[in-house]
Structure 1
Amino acid sequence: MTERDFATIKSFGLNAVRIPVPYFIFGDCKPFIGCIEELDKAFNWAEKYELSILIDLHTVPGSQNGFDNGGISGVCKWAKQPESVQFTLSLLERLAERYGKRKGLYGIQILNEPITEKMWDLFDIQNRYKPVDEEMAKGSGPISLKFLRSFYIDAYRVMRKHMPEDKAVVFHDGFDLKSWKDFMREEEFKNVVLDTHQYLMVAEANGCEKNLEAYVKYIQENFEKDVEEMQKYFPVICGEWSLFNSYGTGVDTKGGQSPLNGVEANTEILSSDEKKELYSTIAKAQLNAWKKGSGHFYWNYKLLLDTVNEPGWIGWDSWDLGKCVAQDWYPIEKN
């Protein structure tokens, strides 16, 4: 990521970026290399181009979900390690202290995608994401909503000490969006935003048929209605979504499995015009759904894959916002 990327994001008519950061960002978790200077650069670029930043703590020691993007595939033990939980709180406080008063800060997301029972069972995590070290994975399991609620309140309090009330504290729904209606209703909690991640690959795992009509119906009857319902309790953002779906790849991806997981898409089943109809239609439907809330962030701005020359990746360019824009799948709406 360079200054040019922030200029491009601005040219797309967007006004904010969500930046995932690892728990070792400050360089105090050997052997991992710190990267705080890169986040400093991002703030300088964002402020130049009048973009705001949502800092997203994407990983924690012991992992909060067992995903392959959660730090340790197949391992989910963070919530059972008091020292890791305390480290996470101190890390969030340091981030709030460093960036809390920056002009370019929209807010800080406490933790990306902590997994609760519903998603743990749906995705059968330890079979889907095989642990490299089976011994390390022993004792892994989902995080209870009770624990997550308590942790979020602790995190809010340590962060708010350094963040004025015009900066948002963002919390993820743990893949259980409608379980938060009675949360943080007290006067103490100011400018708290609820983040939900809605993907068509999860819709498929929930039984959605793999065709355009079914996708649009699911978006309208689930994504849109659920966001609208929860917007009554919190400002709701869809912090991750994309145009990716199995129909566009030509194979059943089993909820987003890739060639890295042994699921390859090697044959184009849709013409260029058919792809444009598929992706532009579900883009419009999803953008209409997010308008029922308070904003959205596409995952991801840029994917470092050559989906043209590398076999197995048909359909995966739909994860890349720049490629979606270039192919007229994603509408640019200038302010």
Structure 2
Amino acid sequence: MIKMATAHSTRRHPLLCFCIFLSSMLSLSHGTLTPDFKTRAVNLGGWLVAEKWIKPSLFDGIPNKDFLDGTRLQFKSVMAGKYLCAETGGGSILVANRTVASSWETFKLWRINETSYRLRVFNKLFVGVDTGGNGIDLVAIVADPPGISETFEIVRNSDDPNRVRIKVPNGFFLQVNTDNPVTADSKGDGSWGNDDESVFIITNTGGLHGEFQLTNGYGPVNASQVMQEHWNTFIVEDDFKFISSNGINAVRIPVGWWIASDPTPPQPYVGGSLQALDKAFIWAQKYGINVIIDLHAAPGSQNGYEHSSSRDGSQEWGLLDQNIQYTVNVIGFLTSRYANNPRVYAVELMNEPLSPGASLDSLNKYYSAGYNVVRKNSSTAYVIMSNRLGAIDPQELFPIASSLEGSVIDIHYYNLFSNSFNNMSVQQNIDFIYNNRLPELYQLTTSNGPLTFIGEWVAEWNVKGATKEDYIKFANAQLNVYGKASFGWAYRTLKNVNNHWSLEWMINNNYPVTSSSSPESFLLIC
């Protein structure tokens, strides 16, 4: 006899027959690699790929920490009342003739040190002094890599740090002339008042706070000290003991591409993360925990977000074949180093590539090459391929993944990051899990296709004033559904200053997020 029970038992789901029919498919293997168990994992996020939102205190000691790489600044002339602008978004002169700031009036910082910066404009060119002209005109025509002529010092007023002057290498300052052109010929020795043509008011519209910003912000000496302390204290052996004793059988460990160059990675990254990963494998062996190595940050950034260690929000991965090959080499390094370790369970080739920048063609090319290099070193490790972010077909990787033994598709499920969740009630969020996520998950679970993995989920949402009981119901709904993924799931994250994002906090405060606390399961067979 088969019967249905839900976390909200007064409501019957129209998917009953559909779910019962497809539930049997979850036991089907893909090729000859078949999981002996469902993965119940937790992400060790914020450890080997730093993110400020997970541990803000990491950034506390950075001087001028509001001027990190990727910070978006707008400069308004106090005298003219107009914003600096790169005409046509770059490729021409700099002017100050806009009363409203938008994309052409926004400059991304590339930090050289705590006072010196380069200014990147909309089309990825850099502001510089026109050395081919009279030596004082400002242009945005320089492509990467910029040089000395494209390096500026931002001098802040001690009484009002939002008032600044911009100093060029020849010792002069930018000024806005009466007919709006911007030149580098002010002595910068006037008052900081509204009649000073060299003074600008800045508007900071936000930026990134990932590992690039952290290490470049501190500089090589201080960054090395900060990161070693972080790696040695954020995740420790007792965490693996805690994980093992609370029903978690695996960890998903995000790493950055620079780990393959340890102990001397390219600047601004610092050495030591590889040694920390080595220790994680020792602890995993001691406590019987499986390890999923997750390439969270690919060369050039696969999505432009801080968790992929983008410098300024640009997404460069996939644009050049050598970038793809470099990423394959990183996977080769990791799998060759750990292939014989019994705790290696899976390798995730890349986290959250973003469409359309990471095209399906470039992704298929990489996933195929990445799979082959894993198989060169291991015949047993599962190979996880992350679905792209954005409005894409959730089965778009099936043509390539279905032909590869031991392949897994990673889907991330959050009731966040979309306006469609903003006004949902508790029950509407729960219904969305059952009525939207469950059918999609079954759609992705086919007899001749890859395994399915919910690589990131969390018991957090946009519901205001939710009670502990509400959170538990929401967590139960996700556990009931995501537990049906044929490879398993991974909570995001183990530790986090945001309580409901922290598995450790949830467990210690009696929120069941490793197995459902409900006396009912979504699908019961008896």
Do these two structures clear the TM 0.5 threshold for a shared fold by scoring above it? yes
Give the structure 1 partner of residue 437 of structure 2: 223
Q: Scaled by the length of structure 2, what TM-score is found? A: 0.50
Within 5 Å, which residues of 2 pair with 1:276-291?
276-291=468-483
RMSD across aligned positions (CA): 1.7
State the one-letter code of the partner of 1:295: G
Give the aligned partner of residue 109 of structure 1: 348
- Conserved 8 A contact 1:99-1:105: yes
Note the residue ranges of structure 2 that are not aligned, 5 or more in a row. 1-234, 517-526
Provide the residue aligned with 1:29 in structure 2. 266
Q: 1:324 aligns to what? A: 506
Match 2:454 to one of 219, 238, 242: 238
Establish whether residue 155 from structure 1 lines up as the match of residue 337 from structure 2.
no
Amino acid at match of 1:181: F
Paired residue for 2:333, among 74, 90, 94?
94
* Within-5 A mapping of 1:31-180: 31-34=268-271, 35-72=273-310, 73-117=312-356, 142-164=357-379, 166-175=380-389, 176=392, 177-180=394-397
Amino acid at match of 1:278: D
Residue aligned with 2:399, SS: coil
Q: 1:95 to 1:320 in 2, by over 3 A?
A: same
Say whether residues 1:298 and 2:513 are aligned partners. Answer: no
> What is the identity, as a one-letter code, of the residue corresponding to 1:65?
N
Which secondary structure does the structure 2 equivalent of 1:224 belong to? helix
Give the aligned partner of residue 409 of structure 2. Answer: 194
Q: In 2, distance between residues paired with 1:212 and 1:283? A: 11
Correspondence for 2:224: none
TM-score by length of 1: 0.77
Q: CA separation in 1, counterparts of 2:270 and 2:429? A: 41
8 Å CA contact 1:280–1:328 kept in 2: the answer is no
Equivalent pair of 2:401/2:408 in contact (CA under 8 Å): no
* Counterparts in 2 of 1:58 and 1:80: CA distance versus 1, 3 Å: same
Deviations 1:39-84 (A, max 9, x none): 1100000010000000000102210001121111521111113332
Name the one with the larger strand percent: 2
- The one-letter amino acid of 1:25's match is I
Q: Distance in 1 between matches of 2:420 and 2:450?
A: 25
* Cα contact 1:208–1:218 (8 A) shared by 2: no
Contact 2:297–2:308, Cα closer than 8 Å, also in 1? yes
Where in structure 1 are there 5+ consecutive unaligned residues? 118-141, 251-268, 306-315
CA separation in 2, counterparts of 1:18 and 1:286? 19
Distance, in Å, in 2 between the alignment partners of 1:81 and 1:282 is: 43
SS at match of 1:244: coil
In the alignment, which residue of structure 2 is the partner of 1:312?
A: none
Q: What is the CA distance between 1:327 and its match in structure 2?
A: 2.4
The alpha-carbon deviation at position 171 of structure 1 amounts to 0.6
Q: Is the 8 A contact 2:445 2:451 kept in 1?
A: yes
Residue in 1 that maps onto 2:114: none
Greater RCO, 1 or 2 (C-alpha within 8 Å, sep 6+): 2
Count matched residues. 271
> After TM superposition, where is structure 1 displaced by more than 6 Å over at least 4 residues in a row?
none
Please report how far the alpha carbon of residue 331 of structure 1 lies from its aligned counterpart in structure 2 after TM superposition: 4.2
Distance across 1 between alignment mates of 2:381 and 2:500: 32
Q: What's the secondary structure of 1:200's corresponding residue?
A: coil
Change (3 A) 1:184 1:69: closer
After superposition, give the CA deviation of every residue in 1:6-65 in whole Å (9 maximum; x if it has no partner). 001111111000000011113232331131111110000001000000000010221000
Higher radius of gyration, 1 or 2: 2
